[in-house]
A and B are shown apart, each in its own frame.
Chain A
């Protein structure tokens, strides 16, 4: 079993829909990242969380440390939101390396 699991693997939605992507992890963490990867490979960090909730524009990320679960929400989704969204964690132990989920491929249809 992977240390970081994401669901769904693929998500297709109509423009304007509210999107939720889930991430569950099995290790103790010091931080969790949500990353966005567009075709061609570039990865951009969206959020880094260790507790609670963060909001940036139409993106909201929440984390529940007790339940080892995080969600990424996109409000009023737009075709330009189409990308792969990756959850990654930094373990409490060892160095600052990221352990990644396999990603959620989001496609927003106009």
Chain B
């Protein structure tokens, strides 16, 4: 399809395990965002890429969180040594460019850390 896709859709991890979440943005979209949504809350910003450059990572909650977009398309959000408080839905969004462009959201990855 032509939309933003994310994988896996669901991930159950044991505490301390590393996880990798993938986002495939819409082809040609320059901007890519990762957001974290805790249960019952609105999403919160994690990090932002423009092409392959990570321009803002101010929302990453700790140094256990790492994101990359090496070729300016697919992005991976990695969480090392997962903790229970990392349990959330991780949303990826992309937009063509410019500040006033619509952001298109993926279906999210629901992460549960036991």
Interface set of A (CB-CB < 8 Å, partner B): 4, 30-31, 33, 35, 40-45, 48, 50, 86, 88, 90, 94-103
Residues of A within 8 A of B31 (CB): 96
Tell which of A30, A50, A97, A101 touches B48, judged by Cβ atoms closer than 8 Å. Answer: A97
Please report the C-alpha to C-alpha distance between residue A32 and residue B110 in the assembled complex, in whole angstroms.
26
Tell which of B45, B98, B108 touches A97, judged by Cβ atoms closer than 8 Å. Answer: B45
Tell which of B44, B59, B99, B110 touches A96, judged by Cβ atoms closer than 8 Å. Answer: B99
Given the contacts A41-B107, A43-B91, A98 and B45 also touching, CB distance less than 8 Å: yes
Please report the C-alpha to C-alpha distance between residue A96 and residue B56 in the assembled complex, in whole angstroms.
10
Listed stretches B11-19, B35-43, B65-73, B75-83; interface member: B35-43
Question: Which residue from chain B places its CB closest to the CB of A41 in the assembled complex?
Answer: B108
Question: Which residue from chain A places its CB closest to the CB of B89 in the assembled complex?
Answer: A41
Given the contacts A42-B105, A43-B105, A45-B104, A100 and B99 also touching, CB distance less than 8 Å: no
Q: Does B103 contact A (CB under 8 A)?
A: yes
The 8 tightest CB contacts between A and B, nearest first, are: A100-B42, A43-B105, A41-B108, A97-B45, A102-B42, A31-B100, A45-B102, A95-B56
Chain B interface bracket (under 10, 10 to 19, 20 to 34, 35 or more): 20 to 34
Interface set of B (CB-CB < 8 Å, partner A): 31, 33, 35, 37, 41-45, 48, 50, 55-56, 59, 89, 91, 93, 95, 98-105, 107-108, 110
Please report the C-alpha to C-alpha distance between residue A100 and residue B56 in the assembled complex, in whole angstroms.
17
Please report the C-alpha to C-alpha distance between residue A88 and residue B102 in the assembled complex, in whole angstroms.
12
Please report the C-alpha to C-alpha distance between residue A79 and residue B81 in the assembled complex, in whole angstroms.
42
In the complex, what's the smallest C-beta–C-beta distance from A42 to chain B, in angstroms? 5
Residues of B within 8 A of A48 (CB): 100, 102
Residues of A within 8 A of B98 (CB): 96
Residues of B within 8 A of A33 (CB): 102-103
Residues of B within 8 A of A88 (CB): 42-43
Given the contacts A41-B89, A41-B91, A43-B105, A100 and B44 also touching, CB distance less than 8 Å: yes
Residues of B within 8 A of A45 (CB): 102-105
